[in-house]
Amino acid sequence: MGYRYITQDIIDAGGINVTGAEMYAEARAYNIEAVRNYSRKRRNYWLIAIWAVGQFVLSLAVAVLIISAVQSEQTERGTTTPTWRILLRLGGFLAYMGAEIYFVIIRRNTRPLVMTACAVPILIASWKFAGIPLLNLLVGWLHEKTENSLREEPGYPGFSRLAITTSYSDADTMSEITFDSIREKARREHPGDDML
């Protein structure tokens, strides 16, 4: 949304002194939009945070199911899995977890390709984990798409609301402006006017 009165300097200052009805309406619209954008940014952050932890829970649950199925199958057949294969699968699983923890959680690199590349080592453990890299790609893409759209909005990244004041008031925020505070300020500035 293009603003006529609100500039980046006013947003950086955190407040606007309203001198007309149009300016007030625009400042109010900006504050409403800032709250909406901040909420979108927080939801986007929580999406990536929940997925970053949730994928470990999902992958561990799938691993337990796969191990249980393999164990019961091997018990029926009377076979065992070679040690090198167990170590290879465990190494792939640990490489996946290490890469995800380091790049996505610690370094906060949430680009879709990085998230997918971090999840690829889990395919060494089993092809049944193929959904994890695909979901990483999807979640990373959704996160990046939302973040890119928010970057174009005024007030990014904090989306702080403006303190709206008037030239006839000492109030710092809209909730502090009252008719009496405006009248008192006008009386101080114009002491000889009996109409106030």
- 140-166, pLDDT tens digit by residue? 999 999 999 999 998 888 888 888 877
Per-residue model confidence (pLDDT) at position 114: 95
> Among 70, 66, 118, which Cα is nearest to 94's?
118
Q: From CA 156, how far away is CA 134, in angstroms rounded?
A: 30
Element holding 166 (H helix, E strand): strand 163-166
Quick check: 183 pLDDT over 80? no
Q: From CA 64, how far away is CA 135, in angstroms rounded?
A: 20
Are the C-beta atoms of 27 and 162 separated by less than 8 Å?
yes
Mean pLDDT of 113-138: 95
Place of tokens 């395919």: 123
Higher pLDDT, 191 or 127: 127
Are the C-beta atoms of 122 and 135 separated by less than 8 Å?
no
Element holding 63 (H helix, E strand): helix 21-77
Q: From CA 3, how far away is CA 71, in angstroms rounded?
A: 65
Q: How many residues does the chain have?
A: 196
